[in-house]
């Protein structure tokens, strides 16, 4: 069941040298030593199947080559796996591993952070499933190096968030360039992303000298939830019946777009000929499988992960700062 652990002293004994020489041969690139000795030691280590013991090294150094990522459910969310990818890629190139711990409801942030600290990670990030503000207790603000997809309420920690407003502006401009003029927005209500996107939506339309056809909530509850009953179908029907039939519908996310597709299909309208559809998220499973494939603004999740790791592992820490990362337009066939 468990591999018998080989230690440096096992190798040292077998090679007839001291432990320190073995350590130097395997890890210290600069250690003075004949090439002969180094090769012999390496060969024996290989033969014995030696694997470095990070726990032992960690005692001495004071930390393990880990970067802790505390999240409010991140690893169980298909959404933000991209964040982990970004983190992981950057971590590996620095010889670090990502240690993800999710923050279960009912558990205080402090206790999760303590849980992570037991492993003495090199740095710790906090990641949120959806863009929001997180209040970090005083004593913890110093323990977290960066906030991903969320902002520390008091601005004491560097935060990486999507540029919601800019993303909304970009997709609206894209619709305008495509000649669309009567644009409705079925938005996610009650969440920060929705509020910011609405600002961008309105700004971009104003810029083009156009009035929005409407900003409608995707669900009834003020707090967006996957389980809240959807209003999408009725909104679409209402929009189609109104005098000003839209020639484009912007959706709060790809799942909303999926419902819009269904409603438009029932009404016998073709996408994009009769009406364009665009959205946010680029949840590939959905966006690429819809017919026609959905044009959508991809969230900068992976970029946030990558940048987060760079900030965490930077030699000299920057002062707390808010980074807004740009969305990325994924053109498919729905516009």
Q: How far is the CB of 202 from a second copy (least distance, A)?
A: 27
How far is the C-alpha of 335 from the C-alpha of 327, rounded, in Å? 18
Query: For the window 55-94, what string marks contact with DNA as x by the rule CB under 7 A?
Result: -xx-xxxx--------------------------------
Residue 59 or 154: the one with the smaller Cβ distance to DNA is 59
When binding is defined by CB under 7 A, the residue of 26, 109, 192, 262 that contacts DNA is: 26
| DSSP states along 87-137 | HHHHHHHTT-EEEEEE--TTS-HHHHHHHHHTT-EEEEEEEEEEEEEEPPP
Question: Which of DNA, a second copy, none does 19 bind, CB closer than 5 to 8 A by kind?
Answer: DNA
- Show the binding pattern over residues 116-145: x = contacts DNA (CB under 7 A), - = does not: ------------------------------
Contacts of residue 139, Cβ cutoff 8 Å, sequence gap at least 6: 110
The answer to the question of residue 56 lying near a second copy (CB under 8 A) is yes
Q: Which is nearer to a second copy, 75 or 178 (CB)?
A: 75
Least distance (Å) from DNA to the CB of residue 27?
4
d(Cα 142, Cα 182) in Å, to the nearest integer?
Answer: 48
Instruction: Compute CA 208 distance to the chain's CA centroid, rounded to the nearest angstrom.
Output: 32
Strand order in the sheet with 248-251: 214-217, 183-187, 248-251, 276-281, 295-298, 328-330
Q: Which of residues 107-136 bind a second copy (CB under 8 A)?
A: 114-115, 117-120, 123
Contact with a second copy (CB under 8 A) among 11, 25, 64, 231: 64
Of 16-24, 91-99, 268-276, 304-312: span binding DNA (CB under 7 A): 16-24
Q: What distance in Å separates the CA atoms of residue 141 and residue 232, rounded to the nearest whole number?
A: 40
Say how far apart CA 278 and CA 257 lie, in whole Å.
Answer: 7
DSSP for 9-47, written as a single string: HHHHHHHTS-HHHHHHHHT-TT----HHHHHHHHHHHHH
How far is residue 133's CA from residue 121's CA, in Å, rounded to a whole number? 24
Binder among 13, 33, 63, 178 for DNA (CB under 7 A) = 33
Nearer to DNA, 28 or 179 (CB): 28
Candidates 40-48, 72-80, 168-176, 217-225; binding stretch for a second copy (CB under 8 A): 72-80
Q: Is 106 exposed, middle or buried (0-12, 13-18, 19+ CB in 10 A)?
A: exposed
Which residues are near a second copy by CB under 8 A? 1-3, 5, 49, 51-56, 58-59, 62-64, 75-78, 81-82, 84-85, 88, 97, 99-102, 114-115, 117-120, 123, 139, 142-143, 145, 226, 230, 233, 255, 258-259, 261-262, 265-266, 283-286, 288-291, 317
């Amino acid at each position: 069941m468990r591999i018998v652990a080989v230690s440096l002293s096992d190798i040292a004994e077998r090679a007839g040298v001291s432990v320190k020489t073995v350590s130097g041969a395997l890890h210290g690139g600069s250690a003075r030593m004949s090439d002969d000795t180094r090769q012999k030691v390496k060969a024996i280590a290989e033969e014995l199947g030696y694997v470095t013991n990070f726990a032992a090294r960690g005692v001495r150094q004071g930390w393990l080559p880990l970067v802790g990522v505390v999240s409010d459910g991140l690893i169980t969310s298909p959404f933000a796996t991209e964040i982990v990818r970004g983190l992981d890629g950057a971590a590996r190139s620095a010889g670090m591993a990502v240690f993800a711990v999710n923050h279960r409801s009912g558990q205080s942030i402090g206790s999760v952070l303590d849980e992570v600290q037991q492993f003495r990670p090199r740095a710790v990030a906090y990641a949120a499933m959806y863009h929001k503000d997180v209040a970090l207790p005083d004593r913890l603000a110093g323990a977290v190096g960066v906030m991903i997809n969320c902002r520390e309420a008091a601005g004491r920690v560097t935060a990486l968030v999507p540029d919601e407003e800019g993303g909304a502006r970009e997709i609206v401009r894209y619709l305008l360039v495509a000649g669309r003029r009567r644009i409705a927005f079925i938005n996610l209500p009650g969440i920060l992303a929705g509020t910011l996107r609405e600002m961008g939506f309105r700004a971009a339309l104003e810029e083009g000298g156009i009035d929005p056809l409407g900003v409608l909530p995707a669900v009834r509850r003020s707090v967006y939830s996957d389980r809240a009953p959807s209003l999408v179908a009725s909104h679409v029907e209402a929009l189609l019946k109104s005098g000003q039939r839209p020639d484009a519908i912007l959706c709060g996310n790809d799942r909303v777009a999926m419902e819009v597709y269904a409603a438009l299909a029932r009404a016998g309208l073709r996408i994009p000929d009769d009406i364009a559809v665009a959205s946010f998220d680029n949840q590939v499973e959905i966006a690429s499988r819809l017919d026609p494939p959905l044009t959508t603004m991809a969230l900068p999740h992976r970029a946030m992960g990558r940048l987060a790791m760079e900030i965490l592992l930077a030699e000299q820490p920057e002062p707390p700062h808010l980074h807004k990362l740009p969305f990325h337009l994924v053109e498919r066939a729905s516009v």
